[in-house]
Structure 1
Amino acid sequence: MMKFEELFDFAIHNKSIYYDHITGLPNRNCLYKLFRKLQLNNKKYGITNFALMLIEFENLKHINGIYTGHRFIDEFSKLSAEILKGCINDKGIMFKFDGESFIIIVPYDEVQEEKVSALAESIIKKFKNYVKVNFYEVSSTVYIGIALYPKHSVELDKLLELADIALYEARSCGKNTYKYYDKVFYKNFQRKSRIISNLKKAIDNHELYLEYQPQLDIRSGQIVGVEALTRWKNYELGSVPPSEFIAVAEETGFIIELGRWLIKNSFNRCSQWCKKGYPLITSINISAAQLQDSCLLNFIEDMLKEYDVLPSMIKFEITETQIVELTVKNADIIEKIKRLGIGIVLDDFGVAYSSLNYITLFPIEEIKIDKSFIDMIGKNDKVLIIIDTVKYLAGKLGVKVTAEGVETEEQFRMLKGLSCDKIQGYYISRPLPAKGIEDLIKHKSVI
């Protein structure tokens, strides 16, 4: 195998053009130049098969906001480059690519694809640990998308596109993941592109609507509240599940506009219900990205006035995962929202860190036990002990407990025996339009 330095002769006297000034690594320009050189004479360099690995780090903007300004990302990039160099040694060539991503080219024999997988796994393992930057210990998730030459393409731009598609798939499969490009991924990528294109026009085209899932007070048997859920039906895509379009909205930043639409319409519906004699407390999901919106508090105040809604009739739900991402500034906004009289709910309890410490750090008045716990009722006796303990501790702290995802009579009966405050799920009803909620209250108000 040749020495990779031979490929870089052209760049020695053109460092400003071919090298990244922060990390000192060859850059995008150098990658294109090298690729052309390699294609013209790959036999000379002994490289006939190689993997193009696109490496990207998550949460850098969030980390940057917490610590020391834009210079922090520069320092993180330098350190990341050194760690990556240590992983590849002389196994491949590394480039600093666009933004905060890196490219690694790894030559391999056609029958030794596992060599590439082993390198990807070693990189992920290395970045699972905390990285110390400027006296701070930080952890950033890493994703890797891999495209193979010539198996997937012989064109660099196409290889980069396919590696990016594989990277997108890796993100959707969980933290610290790598994926090789597959034709199936391309269909997923195309659908995502269509979702992005159509979602931006969904509000103006009046394609969004709300459904509401009722919440039952276990003691009284009365429906006392609802969770407002955004739905989207598009003329091209049909009904798009929230699991698809909410993730895209968060990734593209459209979640701010979408969140405002949800707040506005939920407040309006809550106001109408109160005037009709249905005092239903309306819960609204709010994302960490929305809490970073400097105009959020003023917008909430304006909507309360516009629709003449009592703040006590509104609750905002924040997931455990989102709370982990909050900065001190965002936490302050939660305090201000609480001071308006709006309730704060910790959603999906049991999915992430499940720490009751959040109740002491944030003004949380209710926690929602995740459906994954409720599903195990009747299958694992330990689950009931955990739920009972959570309910006891929460009660001592003055926090209500709601069980979500309740689907069976057995689950309902056991949760009632544990004195949970409320339940939500198909056992009561699937999400319904506003008229359906009114009909449900009229004809099935008691269980």
Structure 2
Amino acid sequence: MLNRSALQEAFFRQLHGGDAGAVFGLLVVRALRLRELELLFGHALVESLADAVEARLQALLRPDDEVVRIGECDFAVLLPRLRERNHAALAASKVARGLHGMLDVGGRPIRANFAVGTATWPADAESFETLCLHADQACAAAATGRDRFALFSGTGRSRLVEYGELHAAIAGNQLRLHLQSIHDIASGDLVGFEALSRWDNPRLGPVPPAKFVGLAEQTGLIGELTRWTLNASLRHCAQWLSTHPRATVSVNVSPLAFVDQPLVDQVASALEIWEVPPRALTVEVTENAFVEDAPAIADALRTLHGMGVGVAIDDFGTGYSSFSYLKRFPVSELKIDIDFVADIVRDERSARLSASMVELAHALGAVAVAEGVENPETLERLRELGCDQAQGYLFGRPVPAEEAVAALGAAPKELVPP
């Protein structure tokens, strides 16, 4: 496997040995959320994943294209003698499509997400170092795009979220908390809120949560972001408990927060500071967090459950894991993903799958919560299926926490069932 210095040597060798005026492309291929994959599947399997990715790249590319491993599962691909700049974008598109879907990693199917960025010489750079920098910036832009590939744009850098900006936003309390209501389906009463962090960046405007949460996970800020979200959520929860003692707050937690930071200590500290009983808090994790029975996550969830904190499985039915984790981990709620809920009126298969999830939740003594409910017909179908709770635009979009608490303070106690 080549290294970075070998990549530079290959670039100048191809440059001086090629036709005058030839276009060169550089791809940067990066596995996304690699730390999470390593947590879930183990380091040895991630190493095998890199080997599988290299083999796939070799199969997708031309014989003269050179693949260089530059990180744990990061690759650079030198594309010599391109006819025009757009051909680099076509190569990036081909690689992105070729890496989409399952990879055979040591006889085990693994789905990983990749971003592919590309820049060209001489159009995008005057030096090898700048070419690498611009390809890397394009890869960062691709990580947040729908197609997961991007050609460098001269304005691309200005659209990237910077580490320093996010760190300052968290430390300076510049994030904002929004709340989306959760309702009892049988009565329609409010039973709680899901807490959602929002960031209005002065330079970029509103930043999608997937972008800044992903950056926090990649840069080690996830612990600080989790601490901010917990404290902001419980601060508002403390305000409504005096009039609505049964209303809870649900907080999404990244799997990395269980390992990189002492999550249990963070939760216990925040509950004590805001004088909120543990039963008023629910921690939401995606079922991918349970793959391979990660010991740190298992221990943390059992401790939190023992404290009285609820545990919800978010986006249930969309992850990699088997149902075996359900008998090993404490589960208070199963949240049925919008992909199933959205089609239950017109698609009988989705309705049957949703009904099975409701039955499974009840068999475990857990509450079934439907996500993404947008119309009365869907709500009625969920009622027929025996689903317990629902959230979605039918009940209201997420609103600033201050507005939600103010509205709740003006509402009667009977809004929440005893």
- Whether these two folds match at TM > 0.5 is yes
2:95 pairs with 112, 115, 120, which one?
120
Aligned pair partner of 1:104 in 51, 57, 77: 77
Where do 5+ consecutive residues of structure 2 fail to align? none
**Percent of pairs with identical residues:** 27
Q: 1:441 aligns with which of 394, 398, 411?
A: 411
AA paired with 2:233? Answer: S
Amino acid at match of 1:168: A
Structure 1 contact 146–178 (Cα < 8 Å) conserved = no
Query: What letter corresponds to residue 55 of structure 1 in structure 2?
Result: V
Question: What's the counterpart of residue 159 of structure 1?
Answer: 131
CA RMSD of aligned residues (A): 3.7
Deviations along 1:188-236, one digit per CA (max 9) or x if unpaired, are 5422235x43221123433223222221112333212111222233444
- Per the alignment, residue 193 of structure 1 pairs with 161
TM (norm. structure 2) is 0.82
Superposed counterparts of 1:17-36, under 5 Å: 23=1, 25=2, 27-36=3-12
- Going from structure 1 to structure 2, the CA distance change for 1:440 and 1:244 (only over 3 Å counts) comes to farther
Could you list the per-position Cα deviations for residues 293-320 of structure 1 after superposition, in whole angstroms to 9, with x for gaps in the alignment? 3422122222222222221111111123
Conserved? CA contact 1:347–1:367, under 8 Å:
yes
Q: Distance in 2 between the 1:228 and 1:40 partners?
A: 57
Cα pair distance change 1:408/1:326, threshold 3 Å: same
Q: Which residue identity lines up with residue 135 of structure 2 in the other structure?
A: A
Q: Cα distance, 1:347 vs. partner?
A: 1.0
- 1:373 is the counterpart of 2:340: yes
Give how far 1:340 is off: 1.1
CA distance in structure 2 between the aligned counterparts of 1:36 and 1:389, rounded to whole angstroms: 60
- 8 Å CA contact retained: 2:102, 2:111: yes
Query: How big is the shift at 1:439?
Result: 4.8
> Relative contact order (C-alpha < 8 Å, sep 6+): which is higher?
2
- What amino acid maps onto 2:139 in structure 1? L
> Partner amino acid for 1:130?
D
1:145 counterpart = 2:117: yes
Distance 1:380 1:212, change over 3 A: same
Cα distance change of structure 1 residues 347 and 119 upon mapping to structure 2, 3 Å threshold: closer
Residue 48 (structure 1) aligned with residue 15 (structure 2): no
Q: Deviations over 1:69-123 (max 9, x none)?
A: 7x88778767866775676684233434356533232334517949946973796
Instruction: Give the corresponding residue for 1:383.
Output: 350
C-alpha contact (below 8 Å) 2:290/2:321 kept by paired residues: no
Which one has a bigger Cα radius of gyration? 1
Alpha-carbon separation, structure 1, partners of 2:384 and 2:23: 64
The alignment of Structure 1 onto Structure 2 pairs a total of residues equal to 412
CA contact (8 A) 1:214 1:437 kept: no
Do residues 306 (structure 1) and 273 (structure 2) align?
Answer: yes
Offset, 1:368: 1.1
How far 1:437 sits from its partner (Å)? 4.1
- Partner SS state of residue 365, structure 2: coil
CA contact (8 A) 1:273 1:279 kept: no
Contact 1:131 1:138 in 2 (8 A): yes
Q: Does the CA contact (< 8 Å) of 1:47 and 1:107 recur in 2?
A: no
Compared CA separation, residues 422 and 99, structure 1 to 2 (3 A): closer
Distance 1:332 1:243 in 2: 27
User: Deviation digits for residues 315-357 of structure 1, max 9, x if unmatched?
Assistant: 1111234444862322221111111111100111243348544
Q: How does 1:405-420 map to 2 (within 5 A)?
A: 405-420=372-387
* SS of equivalent residue, structure 1 residue 172: coil
Contact 1:288 1:325 in 2 (8 A): no
Corresponding residue SS for 1:413: helix
CA distance in 1, matches of 2:171, 2:183: 34
Helix, strand or coil for the counterpart of 1:379? coil
Greater Cα offset, 295-304 or 79-88 = 79-88
Tell whether the 8 Å contact from 2:117 to 2:139 is kept in structure 1 after alignment. yes
